[in-house]
Amino acid sequence: MSETLASQNEINAEMAAISSEALAARHDGGQPELHPRRGYAPYRSSVLRHPTHALVKADPEAIERTSPAFGHTDVDWYESDLTIQHNGEPLGERIIVTGKVLDGEGRPVRNQLMEIWQANSAGRYVHKRDQHPAPLDPNFTGVGRVVTGDDGSYQFTTIKPGPYPWKNHLNAWRPAHIHFSLFGTAFTQRLITQMYFPGDPLFALDPIYQSIVDPAARERLISSYDHDVTKPEWATGYRWNIVLTGPKSTWMEQDDDHE
Amino acid sequence: MSEFVQAEFVQTPSQTVGPFYGFALPYEGGPELVNPAHPAAIRLHGRVIDGVGVGLQDALVEIWQPDENGEISRELGAQEPDGYTFTGFGRAATTRAGDFTFTTVTPGSVGGEAPYALVTVFARGLLHHLFTRAYFVDESALEALAETDAVLKSVPADRRATLVAVADGPRSYRFDIRLQGEGETVFLDFDA
């Protein structure tokens, strides 16, 4: 832990080497890599934490083809508006984030819990270990929950999070992002991911984002600005759809049990 | 039935849970699937350990399991536990030492299969969460069980023990999760 931090240039060179190797593998007919590399050395925390053995292929059994049940009664309506959880208005750019959660066949993943969390507009989390010297906002915690609708749709009102520094390497900054946690109709669909904002200048420099080596795959994490979601005199709008794993691992008969 | 072309719906990539989920994901009662006073209550605990043997202070462990009769819960309110209803789902953040503890019941066999709890691990540094199983079987019975259980069968014999919740006291089971290195836990891929 006391070793000298790498420079951004060193991290960039490591990332470029992995990217060109991944690109070459694709040209040789390899499959696109839909998820991040588990061991991605430019993201230093992954080095000692990724399994070194290949994962063991398993057919999901009954428990894995089901998922814990959440309903609209588990979540209060105001939990999807992160700007009204305190006595005053949080600082920053109010945004609406909306979209659909779908499975691999495009079917809505309905009545499923989605949890989000994020930094405030200054790039600070309400977490004791985040001691980055940016202000906490007394009117913003940055935690929301919603249950998807019958068409798989969700919507949050929140504040656009700021980028923030982290200690992966010297002058490391995370692109602005919102964390998403989702349950599907099968526990094998469980997903935790991050939604990014279009045009962020930090994308090329961020090893967590770049750990998804396939360019088309990582672009799926970028929301799009949607003027139809934007509300006059109120908030700008972003749209982001999420696709969980395909139906192979879902238990069709259970689809209606999540009411 | 589907009006969509399947190829359009490509999985959204995973990203790490990061270190700063602690104000968002853990919840009151998350590690207690049953009350500790429940007559069938057991402790399921362990440590999440990295490649040099250090416990992870920023890991999140989830379990999803049937009840002691092998029934899979369809109860609502898995995150709003009332202290009585068994919802089968638990979530625990690790301590500074990397330890997690659940209060639950021994999972029953579903359809005659070997009984186990599904275990999921999230952490800073894990770009994609990890799935594994904590089997509630006697370690001495593993070899015989590997003849019938598809997952145990496909795991090399010398790694099977990493999938066993080991009794370490009265109504207490230990299930350490080694992400890397010697004794690395067997992790499962359901996406094949």
> What pLDDT, on a 0 to 100 scale, did the predictor assign at position A257?
43
- pLDDT tens-place string over residues A40-74: 999 999 999 999 999 999 999 999 999 999 988 88
Give the long-range contacts of residues B81-85, CB within 8 A, separation 24 or more.
Answer: B81/B29, B81/B32, B81/B33, B83/B29, B83/B32, B83/B35, B84/B35
Contact A38 B126 (CB under 8 A): yes
pLDDT for residue B8: 74
B71 lies within 8 A of chain A by CB: no
Mutate to test the interface with B, among A47, A59, A63 (most CBs of B within 10 A): A63
- Quickly state the pLDDT bin for B80 (edges 50, 70, 90): confident
Higher-confidence residue of A131 and B11: namely B11
The model's pLDDT over B102-150, given as tens digits with 9 standing for 90+, comes to 999 999 999 999 999 999 999 999 999 999 999 999 888 999 999 999 9
Q: What is the pLDDT of residue B139?
A: 84
CA A230, A231, A232, A233 torsion-angle sign: negative
Is residue B41 pLDDT above 60, yes or no? Answer: yes
How much is the average pLDDT of B138-166? 94
A34 touches chain B (CB under 8 A): yes
- Name the minimum distance, in Å, from the CA of B41 to any CA of chain A: 20
Confidence band (pLDDT; 50, 70, 90) for B170? Answer: very high
pLDDT of residue A2 exceeding 70, the answer is no
Reported as a pLDDT band with limits 50, 70 and 90, residue A126 is: very high
pLDDT at position A129: 87
Q: Give the integer Cα–Cα distance in Å for A114 and A129.
A: 24
Compute the average pLDDT of residues A228-245: 97
CB contact under 8 A, A70 and B78: yes
CA distance A115 to B62: 15
Mean local confidence (pLDDT), B158-172: 97
Q: Do B50 and A60 touch (CB under 8 A)?
A: no
3-state secondary structure chain A: CCCCCCCHHHHHHHHHHHHHHHHHHHHCCCCCCCCCCCCCCCCHHHCCCCCCCCCEECCCCCCCCCCCCCCHHHCCHHHHECCCCCCCCCCCCEEEEEEEEECCCCCECCCCEEEEEECCCCCCCCCCCCCCCCCCCCCCCCEEEEECCCCCEEEEEEECCCCEEECCCCCEEECCEEEEEECCCCHHHCEEEEEECCCCCCHHHCHHHHCCCCHHHHHCCECEECCCCCECCCEEEEECCEECCCHHHCCHHHHHHCC
Q: Which residues of A touch B192 (CB under 8 A)?
A: 57-58
CA distance A43 to A205: 11
Among residues of chain A, what percentage have pLDDT more than 70?
A: 93
pLDDT, position B4: 41
CB contact B183 to A (< 8 Å):
no
- Measured CA to CA, the distance from residue A59 to residue A62 in angstroms comes to 10
* Residue A53 annotated as catalytic: no
- Size of chain B, expressed as the number of residues it contains: 192
The interface pTM score, or ipTM, of the predicted complex is 0.94
The mean predicted confidence, pLDDT, of chain A is: 93
Distance from CA of B133 to the nearest CA of A (A): 10
pLDDT at B179 over 80: yes
pTM of the model: 0.94
List all residues of chain A from 153 to 212 with a beta carbon under 8 Å from chain B: 179, 181, 187-188, 190-194, 208-209, 211-212
pLDDT at B171 over 80: yes
pLDDT digits (tens, 9 = 90+) for A136-172: 999 999 999 999 999 999 999 999 999 999 999 999 9
Active site residue A127: no
pLDDT given at position B78: 87
Q: A249, B190: Cβ pair inside 8 Å?
A: yes
Average pLDDT over residues B168-190: 97
Specify the pLDDT at position A246.
Answer: 65
pLDDT for res B1: 41
Q: Which is catalytic among the residues A40, A125, A209, A238?
A: A125
User: For residue B7, how many C-alpha atoms fall within 13 Å in the half-sphere facing its CB?
Assistant: 1
Question: What confidence category does residue B83 fall into, taking pLDDT thresholds of 50, 70 and 90?
Answer: confident
